[in-house]
A and B are shown apart, each in its own frame.
Chain A
Amino acid sequence: MRTIDMSTTPLRDLNAALQAQAAEQTEPTWEILNPRGSHAVAVGLDAPLAITIKGSTGYYCAGMNKQASIHVTGSVGPGVAENMMSGSVVVDGDASQYAGATGHGGLLVIKGNASSRCGISMKGIDIVVHGNIGHMSAFMAQTGNLVVLGDAGDALGDSLYEARLFVRGAVKSLGSDCIEKEMRPEHIALLADLLERAGADARPEEFRRYGSARQLYHFKIDNASAY
């Protein structure tokens, strides 16, 4: 295992060392100390690394991740795992705005709460939040799954495409074109797998599923006055 202390190593050197593993593949296990809210920690990785970040980070932690498994023991700022392609990001604390935004793949687990715009424009990522999520979450979400063990804020799933949203607690309000849908056996199976992979102590049967009513996909002349 290699340890990098951010109180002595500049951020660019840290990221360069981690990114170099895409070609070198010499060290699979990394520990990052003293992030103290730094931005853009462990971004742009493309190797099957196991990385533990001990503490809390700022904006854009683990952005654009491919293959790596990144574990943050504290909380993260806005845009964690933004545009993740594959791999996993696990946050023991809370996440700020737009966690997992535009993610194409991989698994993002937030063990605390995520604030507003969680999973905005997600494109295939799976997100499991053990706590609550804030307003406008899964806005324009295209594919992938958002699982919330707690409550969801206002306007959940506004202008939703084909992402699936599973919420165990209360939903403050649904956004435009987002409706509750039936939980079929394939959804129970999908959710059971996601909950297990996210280390979440919950039964799939406790959740409700929300999805797109598919009324906003095409322009309708009846809606012209709304523009």
Chain B
Amino acid sequence: MCGIVGLFLKTETLRPQLGALLTDMLITMTDRGPDSAGIAIYGSDESDGLRITVQSDTPDLDFPLLAGRIQAATGGAVALRVIDTHAVLTVPEDRGEAVLAVLAEHFPALRVMGSGTSMEIFKEVGLPADVAARFHIREMAGTHGIGHTRMATESAVTTDGAHPFSTGPDQCLVHNGSLSNHNSLRRQLAREGIKVTSQNDSEVAAAYLTWRMGQGARLDEAMESGLKDLDGFFTFVVGTRDGFGVVRDPIACKPAVMAETDDYVAFGSEYRALAGLPGIDAARVWEPEPATVYFWER
């Protein structure tokens, strides 16, 4: 069992409140997933560079050295924002590869949570309320965000096993369920040059969508082909820089509720997660159909 929440804002009205709304939704899903929690937040549709979110088990040792080492190696400007065990590096967009190479060489224990011009990812082991407070999610503004509360089944309770997973720029995926063909798919993706870093089944699904989109598919097309290639139980909610998608497997035993108003599209594993949203009483509320791709794009 896990909990998923997602909020895609269609207008600018609620953007300053995105983090607050998602935090309340996430905490409501605590009893579906008390092990770990995470959130991917798409902060702005105006890029100020490439944002690389990294995590360290020893932030006090690693983070003070980070900016200097990257600046020395790449020569470009680096902005560093430290939030608890995570740090967001903002670098010129064309320096992404070089920065990742520096991180791999000088900070091998550092985990790259994700990168993109809009997306930041924060995830840790712990109760959702504690995780949200540590990263000050409540104060964050943005265009859309996806959160997850985890009750682990397929891999250990670690930061690496927490959701969301990001395997491509500005792409993230959260999963409720369990995949049964993730090992063969992981080998297949490896042959295609797609690296999956954890043992987690959900990360394979994220990598699969990244691979499909790398071949030129839109997010909704990638999800559609996922219905054929991914075997197991799943409700996925996925985000891209401008898009927000939902898909459930054909058996659809993992719960899902959606709500839409003029201002937003919201996803919750249960209606409880949506009950506090503004205008929910007048929203169109429905259960997404099995094996059907739902997709919104700005």
Contacts and interface: CB of A to CB of B under 8 A. Distances in A.
B290 A134 contact: yes
A134 B274 CA distance: 23
A38 B28 CA distance: 11
Interface string B265-298: 0000011111110000000011101100000000
B161 interface: no
Contact of B287 (A57, A59, A115): A115
B255 interface: yes
Chain A at the B interface: SS class: loop
A36 B255 contact: no
Interface string A100-128: 00000000000000011000000000000
Q: Which of under 10, 10 to 19, 20 to 34, or 35 or more describes the interface residues of B? A: 10 to 19
Contacts of B79: none
Contacts of B290: 116, 134-135
Contact of B252 (A37, A75, A116): A116
Contacts of B270: 37, 58-59, 77
Interface in A34-60: 36-38, 56-59
A53 to B, nearest CB: 13
A83 interface: no
* Most chain A C-beta atoms within 10 Å of own C-beta, residue among B251, B257, B273: B257
Interface string B224-268: 000000000000000000000000001111010100000000000
A173 to B, nearest CB: 13
A38 B255 contact: no
Nearest to A112: B286
Contact of A37 (B251, B275, B287, B289): B275
A75 B274 CA distance: 13
A135 B248 CA distance: 14
Interface string A49-89: 00000001111000000000000000101100000000000
A158 interface: no
B255 A97 contact: yes
B271 A75 contact: yes
10 contacts: A37-B273, A56-B271, A58-B271, A59-B270, A77-B270, A96-B287, A97-B255, A134-B252, A134-B289, A135-B290
